[in-house]
Structure 1
Amino acid sequence: MRLAETVTFGGSGLDRAAGLRKDPDALAQALERGLVLPIWRGKPLVAGDRLGWLPAGHPVLASGGPPVFLGLDDAGPRFAADISAWSPEAGAEAVEAGFFDPSVQQHPALGDEQGFVELRGVMTQLSPREAELVATGKALLQWHRSHGFCAACGAASEMAQGGWQRGCGACGAQHFPRTDPVVIMLVTHGNSVLLGRSPGWPEGMYSLLAGFVEPGETMEAAVRREVFEETGVRCGPVGYLASQPWPFPASLMIGARAEALGDAITIDPEEIEAARWVTREELVSAFAGRHPEIKPARNGAIAHFILRNWLADRLD
């Protein structure tokens, strides 16, 4: 798919400068002249349609952990830091639970135009470079938050190599950031595409079927298995379309297309809430906001990207 890397979070060509990760002195020098993105409980600092980069000595970063090195941008080194230990003042807008958190948390050391926001709400407004940087930082910091202890012996581990590794001082084991592969499928039958919805999604929202790749499984086998498990539909040929880093918390969405061998649907209610075949004409209506029952996947997600390009016949 020629347009594959235009997907949100993809294709900016960031220089990750992996050679610097093993050089503590070089990293320290890079931090002095670079900028840091603070991330609070998964929410990046944003100012308008740009990320809120701060110098390393800024007061906002005082409550944060050691910064992780993201790479070299055209304007200099870029880092991210987890400041989740900071607690908003009494009366600040509270975090909301659910599919999407619209709340904004503002730090007293920053101006009113800056705040910590849900990435899903601003991801399509960011430049490709900033999107890749924030996806990398959010995923890395979440991994550090959830992997503070050695999986081999249970002792506390420490960040190493600019945040791209954790080392155990007790047994010497080394641990590396985890990315979970997920297949997401454009399953077609004639003029229709198979869409489904999960419990807890906004009313009327439908998307492509998706699921995690299992150990010992190819991408093609995962596509066929997941579609059959969720809907009872069997698929024939499977082909690759595009991929998307998805930092919620740290997945790689592998977009594929598959041809259904039949159209009978039998859903597994433990997997999904509903599934249906949707014609091109119906999907056009849904994207235009005119369909009475269907709302498309959120703009910025690879499902939205694939479906829009399918409608435009741009999947080559």
Structure 2
Amino acid sequence: MRLVFAGTPEFARVALERLHQAAGFEIVLVLTQPDRPAGRGLKLQPSAVKQFALAEALPVAQPRGLRLDGRWADDAAAARDAIEAAQADAMVVAAYGLILPAWVLAAPRLGCLNIHASLLPRWRGAAPIHRAIEAGDAETGVTIMQMDEGLDTGGMLRSQALPIEPGDTTGSLHDKLAALGADLIVQALQDAGRDALRARPQPAEGVTYAHKIDKAEAQLDWSQPAEVIARRIRAFDPAPGAQARLSGEVFKLWRAQPLPGEAEAPPGTVVAADAGGIDIACGTGRLRVTELQRAGGRRLPAAQLLRGFAIAPGMRFSAGEAA
């Protein structure tokens, strides 16, 4: 089966590698986002997908847009020529980052199949992993979807649930879902090769949207319940990192858990600080922070950070500032 693959970050790279290794598939073209500046030197860096494709000598195209009548019409026309020349049976899409217009959706014989990191119709949109953790969902999963012109509205081809463990962060859950998605897309395409792939409509009820993470959301609101704050800390690990300000300095909080009982102190107040962690009063309950990071420093266990920065009961955390 001849495949075009469209994706950009590590989540997509895992699926591309799995398809490249699986018998019966040929990756005839890889689409990925243009190189972006990254790191302290802001040098242009290729995406994870591009790095893998180049290492495996797969043909790569990096259009800035795909609308034939848009700002990047020349890029779109070149991409159209490359896609048509590929004569693909299907296009696999995973966290690509560009909206696919109708001409792309119609180009492959079997259309475009998307690897989406949620159990649709819950968490359509840009940040399904973050939002599932933040909302306190007990499970999430992967849906292989037949793409249409809506926002994650296409028919479901395969799906599989995955429990969200109490200690899962967006980073750890991302890795589990990437591996699951890679397995499911192979299975879906194998079904398609046997003419055994059938789409079922998404339920009309239960639709939620996983809006893109705004850096301003990283600032913790201590008036919220401790459980809500703990989930947000896990949801924003590894990026953008939950932030709070103490003594004029912005900290990132990486690991925390709610504690039973109320703290007789205003929200944000440190009620204990020792080798076990830093206990902070919240709108409801208390939060024990066990790993955090000073600006410009490394992630450290609370006990180690306290040896170099004095935090004592009565001090008060406030909202941080978006980086």
With normalisation by structure 1, the TM-score equals 0.28
TM-score, reference length from structure 2:
0.27
Greater radius of gyration (CA): 2
Q: Which gives a bigger RCO, structure 1 or 2 (Cα 8 Å, sep 6+)? A: 1
